[in-house]
Amino acid sequence: MSEKKSFYVTTPLYYANDELHIGHAFSTLAADILSRYQRAMGRDVYFLTGSDEHGQKVEQAAKARGLTPLEHTDKLVEKFKSLWELLDISNDDFIRTTEDRHKKVVVHALNQLWEKGDIYEADYSGWYCTPCERFWTEKEVPEKICPDCKRSVQELSEKSYFFKMSAYQQKLIDHINANPGFIRPENRKNEVLGFLRQPLGDLCISRPKARLSWGIDLPFAPDYVTYVWFDALTNYISAIGYPFDMEKFNRLWPASCHIVGKDILTTHAVYWTTMLMALDLQLPQCIFAHGWWVTGEGKMSKSLGNIINPRELVARYGLDPFRFYLFREMVFGMDATYTEDNFVLRYNADLANDYGNLCQRTLPLLIKNREGIFHKKQPALPQSLEIAQMATQIKADYVEAMENFLFHDALKHIWTLVQRLNKYVDETAPWKLAKEQNFEVLDEVFYTIGEGIRFCTHLVEPFMPHLAPEFLKQIGCAEQRVSLSDLAWGQLPDGTSCTEPTPMFPRLETERIQNLKKGGKPAAEDGKKEKAAAPVKSEVNEDGLISFDDFLKTELCIARIETAEKVEKADKLLKLTVNIGSETRTLVAGIADFYKPEEIIGRQVVMVKNLKPAKIRGIVSHGMILAAATEDGGLALVSPDKLAQTGIRVK
């Protein structure tokens, strides 16, 4: 990274022909995590995303829905924005290519290049793919099938306008070779250099209105509209003021990082960079092309119809676990395969067993034996000294990884410390120290654990911005925040009081995992994977009574019902969305005979929060609300008799 004070990060503009999938969410979350990290490091961040709304696919999609292109894109853009709100994307701007502020910049750039002689008119023949809006040469499509979407191409011949991209080929090669971090990762840089070893053709930047009317008019040829890529790529400068607010533009440009999928690397690393050269503008500092999320059917694509909906995964598992999984599982820059089993195994291993368990197993002991107070002690035990030194090194490794967009490495470094802290608990056995009343050592152990939780939580917060503050709250540090640049070991203040820990990550299981645990065969892939894990049996005495400790395993909380709707083909069931303070959850309740959906929206109820998920009529239910039978044979929801704090534990 350069010493430029601002940090300007962008996502691709997402094409407004259909709803977004997990691949789009991944690009945007990567930019969000990067932005949160850079803000925590004290930098001036500007984060841009938006929508690409012109072109033939948009025009066709609108026609199929009986809408004008603008009506169609207006509706889709609202869905795009609602997804970013759901994922809590912290973008500073959202630009649409149909906005006047963008269109006038495209027209300005076209005029500049036309007057400069970098755009010219010529006849063109080639094989055209409508879904991809791309021409192919005869050699590239010997079977007359598009290499990208595998659909038929058609031969077209027409007068067109071309950008002299070839004039900048050698200059671009020289720039790539002189700036090793310009295109990342390394294998993508090599791909681009391989592409540039062949003669670079000029770029057709027009489409005749007779074939496509939905676009920005060429200012020097009103019977033509601008090719969608020349239009869309210009957003990176139009959104930050070029050329009408040069103070803002000069503060932010060049972009610190364009985050893109590997399938659009050529358009960014060749088309866009040569456009910038022609406009006499600096190139971005970095173009990072990440890999694809794939399923058994290959790359996820709206065109292929094999997408995974991020809304469903967030509803099923929660926002922060979803964010965490995507960047813990994928090596940023390579492909990764999404399966439900992988998600559940990663969630259970890293979040439930390691991170969440660190609080659950230690804070109750601190409350029981030291009144919940951390007494600051200098590390004296060899293990304590090792952890303090490890933390300092891990922060350095984490910063290096984040500065180089290696999110998976950053999380790996954090979890090295998380796992070492869990081992430290086993090694020092604070329950034994408490029994022996060895309070001097016990205080050192508790302080090391508390400081370790605080340290790891600050590092993980860009990935889990909602649950990380909850962990800080549990160890009493909600108001004692430090920037990542100032984070150091030993900053947990003496006398800090913890609170009773709340389980953040209840374990998950799938039918396949359960069968494998039992030594059986994997469940059939029949679309019914999710199943409630078998309940944990409590020790019950001869009178049918359970211990107080067993009772405490059931966590009841106050939930507020946000939405309610009938479950299709299930007369007795309602699908509910409930707010429990730190998150929203989906659950299924058998109360449709006694309550209409509109009657219970906004109502507070008592909910079992740590019940293992169960799949009911195809819906994964994350919890259970309490109800009791009435004297007349009805059912009454259990609710507080006056307004209570949403999400608070019922004691």
**pLDDT tens for each residue of 66-117:** 999 999 999 999 999 999 999 999 999 999 999 999 999 999 999 999 999 9
Half-sphere exposure of 187 (CA within 13 A, CB side): 7
pLDDT > 80? residue 568: yes
DSSP label of 569: T
pLDDT > 80? residue 632: no
Mean per-residue pLDDT over the chain, rounded: 88
pLDDT > 60? residue 298: no
Q: Give the pLDDT band (50/70/90) at residue 544.
A: very low
The angle subtended at Cα 76 by Cα 128 and Cα 151, nearest 5°, is 25
Residue 294 structure tokens: 């794939």
Average pLDDT (270-299) is 89
- Going from the C-alpha of 192 to that of each of 139, 264, 269, the distances in angstroms are 19, 11, 7
Q: Give the pLDDT band (50/70/90) at residue 582.
A: low
pLDDT > 60? residue 391: yes
Rounded-to-integer distance, Cα 74 and Cα 76, Å? 6
pLDDT in tens, 26-46: 999 999 999 999 999 999 999
pLDDT > 80? residue 583: no
CB-based contacts of 171, cutoff 8 Å, min separation 6: 277
pLDDT in tens, 601-613: 878 899 998 888 8
pLDDT in tens, 395-415: 999 999 999 999 999 999 999
Q: Give the pLDDT band (50/70/90) at residue 525.
A: very low
Helices (H), ranges, 596-651: 597-600
Pairing of strands 604-608, 556-567: antiparallel
Q: Residue 434, Cα to own-chain centre: how many angstroms?
A: 42
- Give the pLDDT confidence score for residue 443 in this predicted structure: 97
335-373 as b/e: b if 16+ CB within 10 A: ebebebeebbbebbebbbbbbbbbbbbbbebbbebbebb
- Give the pLDDT confidence score for residue 90 in this predicted structure: 97
Helices (H), ranges, 87-227: 100-116, 169-178, 186-196
Return the minimum-mean-pLDDT range out of 197-206, 329-338, 386-395.
329-338
Beta strands in 419-536 (DSSP E): none
- Give the pLDDT confidence score for residue 531 in this predicted structure: 36
Between the two ends of the chain, the Cα-to-Cα distance in Å is 51
The CATH number of domain 554-637, selected from 3.40.1160.10, 3.30.470.20, 2.40.50.140, 3.40.50.2020: 2.40.50.140
- Give the pLDDT confidence score for residue 528 in this predicted structure: 36
Q: Could you give the 3-state DSSP secondary structure of residue 46?
A: strand
Is there a contact between 603 and 561 (Cβ–Cβ < 8 Å)? yes
- Give the pLDDT confidence score for residue 48 in this predicted structure: 98
Is there a contact between 358 and 508 (Cβ–Cβ < 8 Å)? no
Half-sphere exposure of 147 (CA within 13 A, CB side): 11
Q: Which fold has domain 339-486?
A: Isoleucyl-tRNA Synthetase; Domain 1 (1.10.730)
- Going from the C-alpha of 439 to that of each of 125, 370, 475, the distances in angstroms are 83, 9, 19
Q: Say if residue 69 is preceded by a cis peptide, omega within 30 of 0.
A: no
Beta strands in 568-626 (DSSP E): 570-579, 584-589, 604-608, 614-616, 619-621, 624-625
Is there a contact between 205 and 162 (Cβ–Cβ < 8 Å)? yes
Q: At what angle do helices 319-329 and 407-428 cross, to 10 degrees?
A: 110
- Give the pLDDT confidence score for residue 338 in this predicted structure: 85
The angle subtended at Cα 185 by Cα 462 and Cα 301, nearest 5°, is 75
Q: Give the pLDDT band (50/70/90) at residue 1.
A: very low
pLDDT in tens, 173-202: 999 999 999 999 999 999 999 999 999 999
Rounded-to-integer distance, Cα 590 and Cα 266, Å? 53
- Give the pLDDT confidence score for residue 545 in this predicted structure: 58
* Radius of gyration of the chain measured on its C-alpha atoms: 28
Give every strand in the sheet of 134-136, ordered side by side: 134-136, 119-129, 154-163, 203-204
Rounded-to-integer distance, Cα 245 and Cα 247, Å? 6
pLDDT > 60? residue 517: no
Name the more confident of 643 and 60: 60
Rounded-to-integer distance, Cα 398 and Cα 410, Å? 5
- Give the pLDDT confidence score for residue 134 in this predicted structure: 74
Residue 132 structure tokens: 């991809």
Beta strands in 1-153 (DSSP E): 6-15, 44-52, 93-96, 119-129, 134-136
Rounded-to-integer distance, Cα 496 and Cα 473, Å? 11
Which residue has 């103070």 as its token pair? 247
Rounded-to-integer distance, Cα 29 and Cα 27, Å? 6
Name the more confident of 540 and 631: 631
Homologous superfamily of 6-316: HUPs (3.40.50.620)
pLDDT in tens, 353-365: 999 999 999 999 9
Rounded-to-integer distance, Cα 53 and Cα 59, Å? 9
Tell me which residue of 471, 402, 490 sits closest to 39, measured CA to CA: 402
Half-sphere exposure of 529 (CA within 13 A, CB side): 15
pLDDT in tens, 311-330: 999 999 999 999 999 999 88
Pairing of strands 6-15, 44-52: parallel
Rounded-to-integer distance, Cα 594 and Cα 631, Å? 14
CB-based contacts of 123, cutoff 8 Å, min separation 6: 157, 158, 159, 160
Return the minimum-mean-pLDDT range out of 36-45, 390-399, 474-483, 573-582.
573-582
Q: Residue 305, Cα to own-chain centre: how many angstroms?
A: 21
Rounded-to-integer distance, Cα 195 and Cα 156, Å? 24
Which of 159-163, 554-558, 639-643: highest mean pLDDT?
159-163
Name the more confident of 294 and 404: 404
Average pLDDT (573-602) is 85
Q: Give the pLDDT band (50/70/90) at residue 533.
A: very low
Question: How do the domains of the chain map onto residue ranges?
Answer: 6-316, 339-486, 554-637
Q: Say if residue 180 is preceded by a cis peptide, omega within 30 of 0.
A: no
Average pLDDT (478-493) is 92
pLDDT in tens, 444-456: 999 999 999 999 9
Is there a contact between 423 and 448 (Cβ–Cβ < 8 Å)? no
Q: Could you give the 3-state DSSP secondary structure of residue 142?
A: coil
